Amino acid sequence: MPNIRLVAVDEDGTFLRDHVHYDNERFSILFKRMQDLGIRFVVATGNQRYQVESLFSEYANRIGIVSASGAYVVDGGNEVFVAHASDEAVARMIDTCHEVKDVPFAFIGVRSTYIERGTDQAFFDDMALYSTRIEWVDDFRDVDDKIIMFSSLVDESRVKREIERFRQIVGDVMDVTGSGAGYFDVMCPGINKAVGLGHLLDRYGIEPEECVAFGDSDNDLEMLKFVGLGYAMQDAPENVKAAADDVAPSCTEDGVLQVLEDLLF
């Protein structure tokens, strides 16, 4: 068995079969094995912290969470790191959202996720899959929270175009990246999953080369390159596979669990 001290997994398209399900019985055996071996388990996702805690409720006080693609990091329920957008960036995004009517946005905060009334209900319902704390607001200017990420969903054929469009609009104060399946995120500058994971490694006294990570999207690229052993999922885009050291079976085949069983037993 290679020298592994930490396992980090993305959620959607990687660990979860369909946004909400995984083989808990199989994972519980692996989690106990990791505990016995002193291996940390981290969920590194673009999703909200509270969504992760709800899906991994029986493990939440024993795992690390890198949420909002690195902007909000929690260890065993304790806040470790928060990167929030500047007042200028928030104001710019509010103005942009009021001007650009064909791209819906959710403002992801520390306490909740916010969507402005008048936005399509289907977008709210989609975002609710990834944010268990979510609410309507009359105006984004009414939100009193630290905004850690802005997230949007468009037709997949538009993603690259919209990413470039928003880089032109807010690229001087925020980063813009794809997160898979038509989603793209506007992030605090320099923040990604590798940065968030790094805060946990410092806390645990673990080196990147002692870590294994799994991912499937552009927002996993930095993390896959950062760790000692990075796995892209079988149906990940080619650029994600190129960034990884190896390829795991798809999420529908429980690829993460398959690889971990091979690595840990």
* Catalytic residue numbers, as ranges: 10
How do the domains of the chain map onto residue ranges?
A: 6-82+191-264, 87-187
Let me know the angle formed at the C-alpha of 166 by 162 and 172, rounded to the nearest 5 degrees.
Answer: 155
The per-residue pLDDT for 264 is 96
The per-residue pLDDT for 101 is 84
In the structure encoding, which two tokens stand for residue 46, read together? Answer: 């673009």
CB 117 within 8 A of CB 80: no
Low-confidence ranges of the chain (pLDDT < 50): none
The per-residue pLDDT for 1 is 63
The per-residue pLDDT for 180 is 82
Three-class secondary structure assignment of the chain = CCCCCEEEECCECCCECCCCCCCHHHHHHHHHHHHHHCCEEEEECCCCHHHHHHHCCCCHHHCEEEEHHHCEEEECCEEEEECCCCHHHHHHHHHHHHHCCCCCCEEEECCCEEEEECECHHHHHHHHCCCCCEEEECCHHHCCCCEEEEEEECCHHHHHHHHHHHHHHHCCCCEEEEEECCEEEEECCCCCHHHHHHHHHHHHCCCHHHEEEEECCHHHHHHHHHCCEEEEECCCCHHHHHHCCEEECCHHHCHHHHHHHHHHC
Count of other CB atoms within 10 angstroms of residue 253: 14
CATH hierarchy code of domain 87-187: 3.30.1240.10
Does the structural domain 6-82+191-264 have CATH classification 3.50.50.60?
Answer: no
Residues 6+ apart with CB under 8 A from 124: 115, 134, 136
The per-residue pLDDT for 179 is 85
The per-residue pLDDT for 20 is 86
Strand partners for 149: 108, 187
Please classify residue 149 by burial: count the beta carbons closer than 10 Å to its beta carbon, then call 0-12 exposed, 13-18 middle and 19+ buried. buried
